[in-house]
């Protein structure tokens, strides 16, 4: 698959300063109109957020499913992205989701014993989401 087949134009490629990329690699990209941007010197965690997302996507989705074609892959990635950003709790402030406000705390003991939790399955029961029913 070529870049032209994807229907979009790539302008930049961010890469590290590893010796496995020869000068010819950058020249080929420059001929295609892609500017190479080098990461900072001695900054191993510069791309850690994106690497974490890719690792989570591989372990939670791609290692557990059989992808049939490109349309199926794009659908699965869209569903996982929605699950990752909108529902999945993250290791942050109160396990809040990145694109939602912090949930209200439940402080009354009587409320804790009568929680009505419902489970919703996504991607053929591969991803599970839990919400409190009204």
Tell me the per-residue pLDDT of 1-33, one tens digit each, with 9 for 90 and over. 466 666 677 888 888 888 888 889 999 999 988
* Residue 4, pLDDT score: 64
* Residue 86, pLDDT score: 75
* Residue 75, pLDDT score: 92
Domain boundaries, the chain: 9-46
> For 57-104, how does the pLDDT look when each residue is reduced to its tens digit (9 = 90+)?
899 889 988 899 999 999 999 988 888 777 766 566 666 666 666 667
User: Is beta strand 12-15 parallel, antiparallel or unpaired with respect to 35-38?
Assistant: parallel
Does residue 133 contact residue 117 with C-beta atoms inside 8 Å? yes
* Residue 110, pLDDT score: 74
Q: Reduced to 3 states, what is the DSSP secondary structure of residue 35?
A: strand
Q: Write down the pTM of the prediction.
A: 0.54
* Residue 27, pLDDT score: 92
SS3 content of the chain, % helix, strand, coil (to 5): 40, 15, 45
* Residue 38, pLDDT score: 87
Does residue 84 contact residue 100 with C-beta atoms inside 8 Å? no
Does residue 56 contact residue 84 with C-beta atoms inside 8 Å? yes
């Amino acid at each position: 698959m070529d870049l032209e087949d994807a229907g979009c134009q790539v302008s930049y490629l961010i890469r590290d300063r590893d010796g496995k990329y020869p000068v010819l690699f950058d020249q080929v990209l420059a001929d295609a109109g892609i500017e190479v941007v080098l990461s900072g010197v001695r900054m191993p965690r510069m791309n850690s957020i994106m690497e974490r997302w890719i690792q989570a996507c591989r372990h939670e989705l791609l290692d557990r499913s059989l992808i049939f074609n490109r349309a199926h892959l794009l659908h699965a990635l869209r569903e996982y992205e929605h699950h990752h950003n909108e529902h999945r709790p993250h290791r942050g402030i109160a396990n809040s989701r990145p694109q939602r406000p912090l949930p209200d705390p439940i402080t009354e003991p009587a409320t804790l014993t009568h929680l009505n939790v419902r489970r919703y399955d996504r991607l053929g029961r591969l991803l599970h989401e839990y919400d409190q029913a009204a």
